[in-house]
Amino acid sequence: MKTSLAIIVALSWVLIGTAVAYAAELADLKILYVGTERATDYVDFLTGKVSRIEATSRAAFRPSHATGFDVVLFDWPQSSETRDMRKLSAPLGARDEWNKPTVLLGSAGLNLAVAWKLKGGSGCTCMDPLAYDLRDHEIFERPFKIDRSTMITIPTPVDFQAELNVGEIRVLPLVDDHKRQWHPGWCTYSTDFARNPDVEFFCGGVNHKTPTAAGLWRQGNLLHFGFEQSPSQLNEAGKQLLLNSIAYISRFSEDRPIAVTPSVFAGPIAYPRKTVARWLRNAEYPVDFVKDMVAPKIWEQLSALPDRETMAKWADEHSRYFHPDGAQKLEIDDDLVQLGLPFDDAEFIGKAIATLRSSDSAAVARSRRLLTRYVPCGPESGKAAEWESWWKENHQFAFALDAGDYCWYIDPLAKRRGISINDMRGSKRSDAPAGTTASR
């Protein structure tokens, strides 16, 4: 009995010590709020909770001002200032030079994604302060444990019903009166998130598009807090989730967004290949939506088919070889057809490199074209020996995407640490273990 009591006491001290460490993780942080509209609210909210909180306007901010701070809170709402998205210039400076852990508040996630060609540049300003599809993740556990018993059940939103065959869903209200009309937040389409080693999905939010849209998520050293409400408008769970988000991203000073993804709001983009079949199977989308995303030759073949399902099946079969043309319209890449593999197949690079040693000059020329087109991170030469050496060095750090960019990338963090991208996901990409502050 005494032994059991001693174990319980010991465990209690461990839990208390862990809680203190997590609280210190937040209390030790120095925070800079960059924005104009809600500076007072954020400063008042964080005073006494963090080591230091200061605010500056977007107009006055210079990247050097972030020196000495651990986390930047970036507030950049949609307004007349951001309406012409093709001309957006990021107040944070150049993407490649920004190395500070940052929380993107509300529509800052959209605006910065457009300016910097990040993930997050497609979605909808239509998210309510109701968190949905909370994942099993530490961001809901510390420094504050989010009380999931406060979750409520609501009728499945009309816009979710086509994808969810349930009458009700469970959500976490982030405000006290979730039924009133709140300013909508920004949620991001997450269909390709799983293919990005630098991206984590934490939860979605009730919105007017799709249940799979992300409301709270991370890409590299950027954490997207898409809910629009200010701290004074959030309930206890909402405030704790905001604080947890600040603490969590503080540990990601080494990670960076990898993919270059132009936004649909800044001009024509090439849609992911599976979008063709998916949109054809969505009766709410006019067929002309698909006509606009494919090259005329592809549309000629599709439109000759008798119905939308037959068109979708054709796309299922042929889209693996799709590639954007000069106008960002999807067409079939005949070089891929000849190779017999889509560009993002795990065997694609190895097979293309092996073909460089072929005695068939046409096959060699084709492989050189394919490697130049889809692997811009590789050697500039078309020499087999250089490509073989490069692939041997980099194959475990490579991944491919078709969300606008249609190419292969090398994960620089995984390569620097010498760890395969398969083992470098989520919190493993942080630069400090849970419960400690990062080395900055």
State the distance between the two ends of the chain, measured CA to CA, in whole angstroms.
47
Q: Rounded mean pLDDT of 411-433?
A: 92
Place 15 in a pLDDT band, splitting at 50, 70 and 90: very low
* pLDDT score of 22: 44
Per DSSP bridges, beta strands 123-127 and 71-75 are unpaired
Specify the amino acid at residue 19.
Answer: A
Please check whether residues 317 and 383 belong to one and the same domain: yes
* pLDDT score of 25: 79
Domain of residue 39 covers 2-249
Whether the CB-CB separation of 273 and 404 falls below 8 Å is answered with: no
DSSP string, 235-249: -HHHHHHHHHHHHHH
Please check whether residues 301 and 397 belong to one and the same domain: yes
Please check whether residues 233 and 289 belong to one and the same domain: no
Place 432 in a pLDDT band, splitting at 50, 70 and 90: low
Q: pTM of the prediction?
A: 0.90
Question: H helices of 28-145, where?
Answer: 39-46, 108-116
Q: Is the pLDDT of residue 11 over 70?
A: no
Q: Quick: pLDDT tens for 216-261.
A: 999 999 999 999 999 999 999 999 999 999 999 999 999 999 999 9
For residue 82, report the phi and psi dihedrals to the nearest 5 degrees.
-110, 5
Please check whether residues 208 and 349 belong to one and the same domain: no
* pLDDT score of 87: 77
Mean pLDDT in the chain?
91
Please check whether residues 59 and 161 belong to one and the same domain: yes
Worst-scoring range by mean pLDDT, 71-85, 124-138, 223-237?
71-85
CATH number at residue 50: 3.40.50.880
Which residue among 187, 221, 249 closes a domain?
249
Q: Is the pLDDT of residue 65 over 70?
A: yes
Please check whether residues 408 and 355 belong to one and the same domain: yes
Per DSSP bridges, beta strands 199-205 and 322-324 are unpaired
Please check whether residues 67 and 120 belong to one and the same domain: yes
Q: Quick: pLDDT tens for 280-315.
A: 998 888 999 999 999 999 999 999 999 999 999 999
* pLDDT score of 16: 35
* pLDDT score of 86: 74
Please check whether residues 96 and 150 belong to one and the same domain: yes
Place 21 in a pLDDT band, splitting at 50, 70 and 90: very low
Please check whether residues 278 and 200 belong to one and the same domain: no
* pLDDT score of 26: 95
**Does residue 415 sit within a domain?**
yes
Degrees to nearest 5, angle at CA 30 with 28 and 32: 155
DSSP string, 126-195: EE-SEEES--S-GGGTSSS---GGG-EEEEPPGGGTTT---SEEEEEESSS-TTS-PPPEEEE--TTGGG
Place 13 in a pLDDT band, splitting at 50, 70 and 90: very low
Q: Quick: pLDDT tens for 318-360.
A: 999 999 999 999 999 999 999 999 999 999 999 999 999 999 9
**Does residue 435 sit within a domain?**
no
Q: Rounded mean pLDDT of 62-84?
A: 91
Please check whether residues 163 and 61 belong to one and the same domain: yes
Distance CA 440, CA 434 (A): 15
**Does residue 434 sit within a domain?**
no
| SS3 assignment, position 410 | strand
* pLDDT score of 24: 56
Q: Is the pLDDT of residue 9 over 50?
A: no
* Residue 343, token pair as written in the block: 């560009």
**Does residue 263 sit within a domain?**
no
Which residue among 194, 217, 249 closes a domain?
249
Distance CA 343, CA 402 (A): 9
Please check whether residues 340 and 416 belong to one and the same domain: yes
Distance CA 347, CA 246 (A): 40
Q: Domain tally for the chain?
A: 2
| SS3 assignment, position 65 | helix
Q: Is the pLDDT of residue 180 over 70?
A: yes
Residue 324: in which H helix or E strand, if any? strand 322-324
**Does residue 433 sit within a domain?**
no
Place 438 in a pLDDT band, splitting at 50, 70 and 90: very low
**Does residue 328 sit within a domain?**
yes
* pLDDT score of 282: 87
Please check whether residues 21 and 152 belong to one and the same domain: yes
Q: Rounded mean pLDDT of 8-30?
A: 55
